[in-house]
Chain A
Amino acid sequence: MEACKCEEKWEQLNEIIKAHRGQPSSLIEVLHKAQELIGYLPKQVLIAIAEGLGVSLSEVYSVVSFYAYFTTKPKGKYQISLCKGTACYVKGAPEILERLEKELGIKAGDSTDDGRFSLEVVRCLGACGLAPVMMVNKRAYGLLRPDKAVAVLQTYQ
């Protein structure tokens, strides 16, 4: 099993689980808190939650994989959120996604090996006038083209 970088948080995680021991109905709440604490939900964390709450691992993963909010992969230092809402879609978001995936060598939903970038596709960021749009951490970049999107990333090296 891949090691998680969460040893120092393990005690706090156990506290969260302890408060809901044997309560399968608290699963979503515990997952929220665990992700808030650790930043993502690696396998060891899901196993600990499954054991603590008395839920099977297959069911825990079922919930985690259902909700877009939960992630089993660590986020990068710079989190790229590319909008693929209707406006951005028709203004060329798919081409930008393709280019970003190629440039970073990862697929949407993944992080680069050096932990610098993670890439995810989101629905409408509420800036349709600037379509196509992406955000890097909290900053928005609009009126993108594939080349321009790559240029934005270069400012984050």
Chain B
Amino acid sequence: MSMVSVTIDNVKVEVEAGTTILKAAEKAGIHIPTLCYLEGINEIGACRVCVVEVEGARNLAAACVTPVSDGMVVRTNTPRVRAARRLNVELLLSNHKMECPTCIRNLNCELQTLAQTLGIREVRFEGKRTTYQADTSTPALVRDPEKCILCRRCVAVCEKVQTVKAIAPQERGFETVIAPAFHEKLINVACVECGQCILVCPVGALYEKDYTEEVWEALADPEKFVVVQTAPATRVSIGQEFGYPPGAITTGKMVAALRRLGFDRVFDTDFSADLTIMEEGSEFIERFKKGERLPLLTSCSPGWIKFIEHFYPELLPHLSTCKSPQQMFGAVAKTYYAQKVGIDPSRMVVVSIMPCTAKKFEAQRPEMKDSGYQDVDYVLTTRELARMIKEAGIDFQSLPEEDYDDPLGESTGAAVLFGTTGGVMEAALRTAYELMTGKELPRLEFHEVRGLKGIKEATIDIEGTPVRVAVAHGLGHARELLERVKAGEKYHFIEIMCCPGGCIGGGGQPIPTNEEIRAQRMAGIYSADERMVIRKSHENPSIKALYREFLGHPLSERSHQLLHTHYTPRGKY
């Protein structure tokens, strides 16, 4: 690769030819502000916030899309540059619904930060505003076009990362709006409600539908018995909201906070993740022995489920019939646990803390009522729980480390792995191996399925029997893998997670969530596994008791009734 020399603000740097001014400036230690830019995903030079002066050029250049050339002289901090950046941001603000103090993204908004950084003290322009109704049609997401600054980051992530393409810029000029075709509501189109658009939105134009008010009410109602479950990935992410570095394991403090909020029992989705492994592992062994409907596709990720229902309905028979851990938990809590402690399930409220927005949709699926009630009542994202903790005035950092309640709080290292891509596969292999061979695993870790590579493949030797597995995360990679399956590639078992990185990168996670933070959370998940005494799902004593006292055995009639489900082909339009 040929190198070129450029001078940026009097600093000389050598970079590869083709490097953008933005990247070259980074190398020179100069920060150029950006807004619409999302590395590798949205590099379109639309917002003009990153403009710089290039010697010899008549117009200002957008640093994020302008490649450097040899001998180029760039100035990033001249009166003309500062005036242009301010003007551009002021124009954005002049058509922005500025309700900052009550906005969900207040103090975590890129537009707000930029206005501060650029020293904007007034918006000189006042005029007509674009008016569009907010879309509140789904149980998971809210879109408010009046806060949208048309940066197109949501469009790019939906199209390029998830290949869902639910939204695009519609109309033109002043009327431009990011929306589905025909200005349809999201509930009426093939949106999987994954919330990746929320994670990349620089402002408050996209956010989760908030259910904290409903949960506060349940907590305040003495008639209600409110139990909560926390998803594996939340324990390595919620700390970020309280000043911990990304990936810090804050399980004990989260449990303590939930207790202080007033939940009657604090349980763990990790418990039902172990249960999922028992059911799904057994389902795999059964199908593997019969050579039936292989590859088996995992079914824990509700965004992925909605994706396959919309885009690959012909592959639905391959999907595991297991409900996700969240839904298994709800069904078990309102039957087994309610009976065990003698509580009328009609008084019980099950709340989930999830890294996910699609879980809100999943909980409201009409078939998720096998306990006789809605199995899971309210789903809160990691962000919503953090807001509740802040609102309650709880000092998270100074909380003691507390343990989950028994029995639905007992779990294994295998279960916590569900929080990352490759984790369900690894957990399932740990159990399937031992159930198939009756022997103890020589090593617990399956490094072949770890890491952030989009598609991971491996052949696992189970005592002379080769088992071909694959793991994909992010729906673009899922699509690629499904196309391989359709083209005749043979696999036995495939894990798919909707979001990049798996649940650690879920649409309900703290903002920012990016590649670096996903890697840190992933490291947190693997160390959480290592810290557990029991690391295989089938060795969880409370799971054993659940089968002994209530379910009988995996895939029993009662298991099928409570823990398994069916799917709905939806079509694309």
Contacts and interface: CB of A to CB of B under 8 A. Distances in A.
B171 A58 contact: no
Contacts of B287: none
Interface of A: 43, 46-47, 56-62, 65-66, 72
B229 to A, nearest CB: 35
B573 A65 contact: no
Contacts of A65: 170-172
B552 interface: no
Main secondary structure of the interface of B (DSSP, over half): loop
Contact of B182 (A43, A56, A59, A66): A43
A134 to B, nearest CB: 23
A57 B171 contact: no
A50 B525 CA distance: 42
Contacts of B159: 56
A61 B573 contact: no
Contacts of B6: none
A65 B166 CA distance: 16
A2 to B, nearest CB: 11
B167 interface: yes
Given A47-B573, A58-B180, A61-B182, 5 more contacts: A56-B165, A58-B166, A60-B181, A62-B168, A62-B169
B181 A61 contact: yes
Contacts of B165: 56, 58-59
A20 to B, nearest CB: 19
B88 to A, nearest CB: 22
Contacts of A43: 182
A57 B172 CA distance: 17
Interface string B152-184: 000000010000011111111000000111100
A104 B166 CA distance: 35
B573 to A, nearest CB: 5
Interface residues of B, number: 16
Contacts of A46: 181
Contacts of B172: 65-66
Contact of B170 (A47, A56, A62): A62
A157 to B, nearest CB: 33
A66 B171 contact: yes
Nearest to A72: B182
A62 B158 CA distance: 15
8 contacts: A47-B573, A56-B159, A56-B168, A58-B181, A59-B165, A61-B182, A66-B172, A72-B182
Nearest to B572: A57
A59 B165 CA distance: 8
A94 to B, nearest CB: 15
A107 B40 CA distance: 43
Contacts of B573: 47, 57
Contacts of A47: 573
Interface string B448-484: 0000000000000000000000000000000000000
Contacts of A72: 182
Contacts of B169: 62
Choose among B167, B169, B182 the residue with the greatest number of A CB atoms under 10 Å from its CB. Answer: B182
A5 to B, nearest CB: 18
Contacts of B572: 57
Interface string B176-207: 00011110000001000000000000000000
A72 B170 CA distance: 13
A57 B180 CA distance: 8
A6 B166 CA distance: 26
Contact of A59 (B168, B171, B189): B168
Contacts of B166: 58
Sort A-B residue pairs by CB-CB distance and give the 6 closest, nearest first: A56-B165, A61-B181, A58-B168, A62-B168, A57-B181, A66-B172
Contacts of B168: 56, 58-59, 61-62
A59 B189 CA distance: 13
Interface string B231-257: 000000000000000000000000000
Choose among B167, B172, B181, B182 the residue with the greatest number of A CB atoms under 10 Å from its CB. Answer: B181
A47 B171 CA distance: 18
Nearest to A62: B168
Contacts of A57: 180-181, 572-573
